[in-house]
Structure 1
């Protein structure tokens, strides 16, 4: 239900605590004590049928005995009566409930099911059960059982674990870290990560969001909310479960490589979240991002009065795959003039142990002005010769005097020792300061990774090539036939045909039932001068090497006969239970300068299909050089996926090996993602090895597991994708009122140039009417927000002239997370008004809203925009004056009621 009634959880006007007793460890008593201790200013009641008074506070026997209806109730009553408590609260019109009580069970007939049914029927939001509660310091609300209340700040903490939430509250209290809110989810009956991300993404009190995750239940909702939140503010996440091992016995290599934690990492990466490895890193990252803005670049300069500490910082930077800056010649000359003989003359810059404040200032000034670095780390080691406080003052004084063009360059500080004056000076100047050089470098890398994540969210991908043509119909027929025959695996011939349908070259394959047939099939190949490869064929032996089931480079019929006999005998000896269907006969592929890769589709229980890429070969699971990504993919995402592996380095030229065709490899990954979108019945697909060289790629061996599709995610669209794919089914051709035609399709990420050309042909007045203000400049970020869509919630449809390719207009619809309401916007090229483009785009938008299941489409229109208001009224929209702004009209369409008549 998204953010519906969440304001009542974090900023209620009244609260009732239900349950509790006079005993020391009573949860209800702890909540009431915390509410009063925090100074909550609203009405507070205590509902308790057993005790008329607790701690000097009079109680009320039943919730309905109150002469007012609380906005929020905090339930600590015994599990057996919680369903009745919630039913009573829902009947009275309570907006939200926090259930601290545990042991409500799960599944049909459970106490939890009864609670959920009562709450949903009346729109009562439930946080919990079995949670710590909520702390909202700005509202002076502590509706929790935490031991202490943190100070008000700008970090929102969302924890799946009550214990972790309590521990982080204590951590924050000890270090004077402030929070906008602290909330634990508990068993997540209703309010979940997606709801809270939506809420805090638009909360002006929250600068950054911190997540502790154990398991995501609604992957598509989480991804949609996380991507939206990450566009507006930093979202940092720590997840337990990294120690999971690769389990033997998986049917395919890609499935073995797609560990659950790695899939979560791929999801966080796709959503633009910054993943950290430990709880303390959450706050380190938040501190860094809070004091420093994003910056272009990744080259770090290091300045220290102790050479050893500077070199340790370099080591840490290398360990984290960071980039050490070089010093420009002019900077070296400038430093030569102000530093004593014996300074390092390289990065890290060692200004010698007796450096005073003036020496620090001169060196800092030179490094800030050097364009060869993007950030500066300043280290101070306390000595008997100088004052750490003077060095800190020199740093902050230099920062204050730097010219405007240098002010975006971030500066980090490590002041070893415990000089309170130095620390106070640095804190006052908002210089992020760390206790060790390792933590400072890690903070720098957090900033780099966050910038990379934001850039990835906004980057325009390259267009797919014109020859990206797939035959989904043929592929569908192959899979349907195999399913109808009761097969779990495609046979090698069908697998070869499936890859061919998606333009993935693969080695030709022939099927021999025994050694004699293998000789017959091999003879023509041998006569052509090729050698032959034989492989065991069995649906029960997923990895041929496990039974010594592969022979290569067979050049005579005698060798083929011997190898075939040996392979079959060995397989029957090692796997007497396996079905042996014979042998595969292939020409030996000789590509001496190729690299062995692995690529495929794995299946995850939470997120659905996952694209896997990495180093291939028989030892793929031991090497474990892989990267994962959630589909759909474009070429940019595919290249980024390749770049996250070590094997990507040897795709480049080295020694006498020419560069492999990396673009061809990337295109295979995009095609696999498209296959997963087109045919949900393909559960796993393993290409190993995938050869890559300067000539392109070739799949030497592949396995495909299939199963009837089942819905993994709620809502419309692909039943198994956590990230909503491009909705191709909404492409169509329309006839306009003048008889001409327009091609209408959903907006794609690569439409940046299309939108820029379109805006150039829209008048300033029309832009003002659409955006409610004058728009003179369209930044890359502005255009990216229009083209980088999360199709799970947003759709933008563009009308294009099929002759010129010019954009004629666009309509946009953004739905809330519970698919109840949507907000629309529309803009037509100024010279094309009166051609019926707006009417037809609005009609398709309404059709899409109906398809999504929305109840209401709303919009805001300036009162002076009489043309738009008239069109809305003719389409069935209701209009009313905005009560908060007399210049704006609110328009709303009851979708299901009107759409059926409009679309007849």
Structure 2
């Protein structure tokens, strides 16, 4: 249901509280008190069958006894009564309920399930149960059991934990930081993270969103909402359960062992563009930063202090976090020489000496703000007997207030040691982010830098895939289906090699021997060619061959092969007597002395589905633990980013006499694995370990693939197991045009930047104005990125391409709302191709897609003067009416279910 009725939760006209008593610790009484003290202007009703009056407010025995129907009901009644209250509220037409009561249980037959069954058919939203409640300071609403109402501000807090939400309210009050809303999810029976991210992404009162997460229940919904929200404003998340687990004894692949739950969450947050922090104090630091500063371009920090030691500590922290220390320009050094007394540091950090007063602070701040060599300024004050911390704070805020606007926009962070309340109040009033230590200040600065980089990465155009990126999904599918039909849980080595070959992933050829004698026979031709061979144990019950010493390499004689084969089988029987032994694998030994050992694979997560794993390979892969994870699908840019987040990426570059490895070939393996996971959901685990990489490319020496019947993780359309909706290949098609020609129609891809630029160059200024409702002459990278980088779960853009030339002829797009009820369309055809039927065909396909997605209505706005589009809309069955807010526009709507299919 997503954002449906959520506006009522945060801005109700009336509230009824059910439950409570005159007891001092009564939850219902606390809620009513908070509503009244917050100054809620709407009607407040109190339902209590035992007391006619509490705290001077008359009560009624039942909800229906109120003379009005409340917008919002807050329930604090005992667990056994909650279902009855919810059913009564839903029957009355109440829009939303907040359930503070705990102990409703989970799952079929529980009180929680009964509550859901009573609320959902009537469309009533439920927040909780077992939650703190909701606070919306701008609406003077405090429908919670928090100790106080925070100031109105622009931070939205969404927390699974009531304690964390209450702590942040107290923390914000102590620092004069306000919130647009504070929400505690509790058990999240109905309203969840996805719903609230959708709501606050569109809320103009919210500039940044803070999340405290224990676990995500609907991964695809969360990822879709999080990616959309992160493109609109900063989203900071802290998650509990970071402690890495020990290697899972049940993990039958190295990839699965490396894909610990917290690491998967980290990959999901990273993919969505969220800023993850490590602990609650970091969330406080991020809130301090985001509450007072917007994002900014750049990453170079200038540091100003009245003590050299504290400044150097700040530099140490900056470097430890991977930050960049700004360099002072010669002009700035000259200016500071003239303004400061002798003895200042003449470098960054700028030490203006222990006896610096307000005048010296002001001069240094002015000079550093004017220096184009830095992007932000950290000002530190250490209290001394010679100076006044208050005077220094006043000098800083006065200087900021007097600066011209371009300089005033440069971020300034402050550390005022000594806890001088007057100095802190001065800085708070000027909205200067203030921190208790230099370490937290630098961390706050780096939060903004990381967020900015994440946003820039979201807007980058991925490199094009090579023309020979061709996979044989049909052949791979046949191999997996045949194995499943036999009841196998693992592909045999020959089938594994064939499947990798179908996806263009180089792997060492493999032969299967039943016994040592057959191993010698298979090895003989290789030995006669001068090669050496490797012999390995083959057993579906021994996932890691090294566990039983089941690998022998560089065998150069038939006798060595026979002895190694016999030894391997004997040792396997001794160490794993219950294991099934299917024989031995025989392979040529690959000698690549300057190759790096990597691991690449697919793991399976119970929440997010398939996860790609990459890192340092070999037998000690779990001990080394140099890995990174990513959610599919992947393009080449994301694949290179995955590689770059590991330590092993450093030795992929050239060093000594070792040439650089072919990193692009490594990245292509990751992209192909992602495609494999997309094409064959039955693959539940895959290891390429070791995957050798050198200047000549890549080669998988060993590979294992686990399979199982596909189990759907996500509802609705698209891949049954991907948390991120993959590229919808099924919407590729060829269409016939009115002039007898044909066009190829496909969904837009992230790498279509150049295609769109060439297209816009052939669209007239007037046609651009009709499409975008304003004159457009410059198409920035960010503008085109927003057109080409789509979340296919909610948006689709279909381009028509001329097959002979590859040129773009036109495009249509459809963006669904968060409730999958309505979709807004837009269309643009190349100006020299009007009348060829391209627009008509694209509109028909778009309507077909809306029906496939389950939307009820397609709508759009069309300029009144755009008679051609209006005529086509009428022919397609759209209703056309004047826009009530803008007389220059017409509003067109099409009921999808009744529209004539294309």
TM-score range, shorter chain: over 0.9
Q: CA distance change for structure 1 residues 512 and 143 in 2, over 3 Å: closer, same or farther?
A: same
Q: CA distance change for structure 1 residues 651 and 333 in 2, over 3 Å: closer, same or farther?
A: farther
Per the alignment, residue 247 of structure 1 pairs with 247
Q: Does 1:170 align with 2:170?
A: yes
> Which stretch has the larger CA shift, 302-311 or 220-229?
302-311
What SS does structure 1 have at the residue aligned with 2:632? coil
Structure 1 residues 310-356: Cα deviation after superposition (integer angstroms, max 9, x where no partner): 22112212222223344556655665666666554544343443445
Structure 1 residues 107-137: Cα deviation after superposition (integer angstroms, max 9, x where no partner): 3333222221222211111111221111111
Contact 2:751 2:788 in 1 (8 A): yes
Per the alignment, residue 901 of structure 2 pairs with 902
For residues 359-378 of structure 1, the aligned pairs below 5 Å read 359-361=360-362, 363-378=364-379
How far apart, in 1, do the equivalents of 2:364 and 2:178 lie? Answer: 35
For residues 198-347 of structure 1, the aligned pairs below 5 Å read 198-249=198-249, 250-327=251-328, 343-347=344-348
Compute the displacement of 1:396 (Å). 4.6
Compute the displacement of 1:811 (Å). 1.0
Q: CA distance change for structure 1 residues 35 and 539 in 2, over 3 Å: closer, same or farther?
A: same
Normalised TM-score (structure 2): 0.96
Per the alignment, residue 3 of structure 2 pairs with 3
How far apart, in 2, do the equivalents of 1:599 and 1:540 lie? Answer: 22
Per the alignment, residue 839 of structure 2 pairs with 838
What SS does structure 2 have at the residue aligned with 1:902? coil
Structure 1 residues 554-589: Cα deviation after superposition (integer angstroms, max 9, x where no partner): 112222122111111111101001111111111111
How far apart, in 2, do the equivalents of 1:415 and 1:306 lie? Answer: 12
Structure 1 residues 616-636: Cα deviation after superposition (integer angstroms, max 9, x where no partner): 111111111111111111111
Compute the displacement of 1:404 (Å). 6.2
> Which stretch has the larger CA shift, 555-564 or 880-889?
880-889
What SS does structure 1 have at the residue aligned with 2:319? helix
How far apart, in 2, do the equivalents of 1:388 and 1:345 lie? Answer: 23
Per the alignment, residue 468 of structure 2 pairs with 467
How far apart, in 2, do the equivalents of 1:394 and 1:752 lie? Answer: 48
Compute the displacement of 1:547 (Å). 0.8
Computed over aligned residues only, the root mean square deviation of the Cα atoms, in angstroms, reads 2.1
Contact 1:246 1:257 in 2 (8 A): no
Contact 1:302 1:349 in 2 (8 A): yes
Q: Does 1:774 align with 2:775?
A: yes
Per the alignment, residue 870 of structure 1 pairs with 871
Q: CA distance change for structure 1 residues 663 and 195 in 2, over 3 Å: closer, same or farther?
A: same
How far apart, in 2, do the equivalents of 1:531 and 1:414 lie? Answer: 66
Structure 1 residues 180-218: Cα deviation after superposition (integer angstroms, max 9, x where no partner): 111111111111111111111111111111111111111
Normalised TM-score (structure 1): 0.96
Per the alignment, residue 150 of structure 2 pairs with 150
Compute the displacement of 1:685 (Å). 0.6
Q: CA distance change for structure 1 residues 425 and 851 in 2, over 3 Å: closer, same or farther?
A: same
What SS does structure 1 have at the residue aligned with 2:540? coil
Q: CA distance change for structure 1 residues 412 and 202 in 2, over 3 Å: closer, same or farther?
A: same
Contact 1:221 1:817 in 2 (8 A): no
Q: Does 1:431 align with 2:435?
A: no
Contact 2:177 2:291 in 1 (8 A): no
Compute the displacement of 1:271 (Å). 0.7
The runs of 5 or more residues in structure 2 that have no matched partner are none
Compute the displacement of 1:428 (Å). 4.5
Compute the displacement of 1:798 (Å). 1.1
For residues 639-718 of structure 1, the aligned pairs below 5 Å read 639-718=640-719
Per the alignment, residue 29 of structure 1 pairs with 29
Contact 2:177 2:288 in 1 (8 A): no
Q: Does 1:620 align with 2:621?
A: yes
How far apart, in 2, do the equivalents of 1:643 and 1:12 lie? Answer: 48
Per the alignment, residue 61 of structure 2 pairs with 61
Compute the displacement of 1:591 (Å). 0.9
How far apart, in 1, do the equivalents of 2:445 and 2:869 lie? Answer: 50
Contact 1:857 1:893 in 2 (8 A): yes
Q: CA distance change for structure 1 residues 402 and 131 in 2, over 3 Å: closer, same or farther?
A: closer
Compute the displacement of 1:754 (Å). 2.0
How far apart, in 2, do the equivalents of 1:374 and 1:57 lie? Answer: 56
> Which stretch has the larger CA shift, 549-558 or 878-887?
878-887
How far apart, in 2, do the equivalents of 1:144 and 1:292 lie? Answer: 28
How far apart, in 2, do the equivalents of 1:865 and 1:156 lie? Answer: 41
> Which stretch has the larger CA shift, 564-573 or 751-760?
751-760
What SS does structure 1 have at the residue aligned with 2:848? helix
Compute the displacement of 1:391 (Å). 4.1
How far apart, in 2, do the equivalents of 1:400 and 1:650 lie? Answer: 50
Contact 1:13 1:42 in 2 (8 A): yes
Per the alignment, residue 457 of structure 1 pairs with 458
How far apart, in 1, do the equivalents of 2:658 and 2:32 lie? Answer: 72
Per the alignment, residue 818 of structure 1 pairs with 819
Contact 1:601 1:684 in 2 (8 A): yes
Per the alignment, residue 538 of structure 1 pairs with 539
Contact 1:859 1:891 in 2 (8 A): yes
Per the alignment, residue 415 of structure 1 pairs with 416
How far apart, in 2, do the equivalents of 1:351 and 1:573 lie? Answer: 74
Per the alignment, residue 444 of structure 1 pairs with 445
Contact 1:137 1:151 in 2 (8 A): yes
> Which stretch has the larger CA shift, 886-895 or 683-692?
886-895
How far apart, in 1, do the equivalents of 2:524 and 2:30 lie? Answer: 84
For residues 185-204 of structure 1, the aligned pairs below 5 Å read 185-204=185-204
How far apart, in 2, do the equivalents of 1:325 and 1:368 lie? Answer: 12
Compute the displacement of 1:422 (Å). 4.2
How far apart, in 2, do the equivalents of 1:62 and 1:403 lie? Answer: 61
Q: Does 1:492 align with 2:493?
A: yes
How far apart, in 2, do the equivalents of 1:743 and 1:27 lie? Answer: 62
Contact 2:155 2:291 in 1 (8 A): no
Per the alignment, residue 14 of structure 1 pairs with 14
Per the alignment, residue 883 of structure 1 pairs with 884
Structure 1 residues 512-548: Cα deviation after superposition (integer angstroms, max 9, x where no partner): 1111111111122122111111111111111111111
Q: CA distance change for structure 1 residues 461 and 881 in 2, over 3 Å: closer, same or farther?
A: same
Q: CA distance change for structure 1 residues 428 and 189 in 2, over 3 Å: closer, same or farther?
A: closer
Compute the displacement of 1:716 (Å). 0.3
Compute the displacement of 1:799 (Å). 1.3
The runs of 5 or more residues in structure 1 that have no matched partner are none
How far apart, in 2, do the equivalents of 1:297 and 1:222 lie? Answer: 30
Structure 1 residues 837-878: Cα deviation after superposition (integer angstroms, max 9, x where no partner): 111111000000111111111222223322222211211112
Per the alignment, residue 92 of structure 1 pairs with 92
What SS does structure 2 have at the residue aligned with 1:562? helix
How far apart, in 2, do the equivalents of 1:168 and 1:365 lie? Answer: 34
Contact 1:611 1:669 in 2 (8 A): yes
Per the alignment, residue 506 of structure 2 pairs with 505
What SS does structure 2 have at the residue aligned with 1:180? strand
Q: CA distance change for structure 1 residues 660 and 403 in 2, over 3 Å: closer, same or farther?
A: farther
How far apart, in 1, do the equivalents of 2:642 and 2:51 lie? Answer: 62
Contact 1:293 1:408 in 2 (8 A): no
Compute the displacement of 1:27 (Å). 2.1
Structure 1 residues 680-718: Cα deviation after superposition (integer angstroms, max 9, x where no partner): 111111111111111111111111110111110111011
Structure 1 residues 591-627: Cα deviation after superposition (integer angstroms, max 9, x where no partner): 1111111111110000011111111111111111111
For residues 347-358 of structure 1, the aligned pairs below 5 Å read 347-357=348-358
Q: Does 1:127 align with 2:127?
A: yes
How far apart, in 2, do the equivalents of 1:285 and 1:827 lie? Answer: 42
Contact 2:168 2:284 in 1 (8 A): no
How far apart, in 2, do the equivalents of 1:490 and 1:220 lie? Answer: 29
Q: Does 1:809 align with 2:810?
A: yes
How far apart, in 1, do the equivalents of 2:499 and 2:334 lie? Answer: 64
Compute the displacement of 1:413 (Å). 2.5
Per the alignment, residue 759 of structure 2 pairs with 758
Compute the displacement of 1:467 (Å). 1.5
Q: CA distance change for structure 1 residues 277 and 852 in 2, over 3 Å: closer, same or farther?
A: same
How far apart, in 2, do the equivalents of 1:177 and 1:399 lie? Answer: 20
Contact 2:247 2:622 in 1 (8 A): no
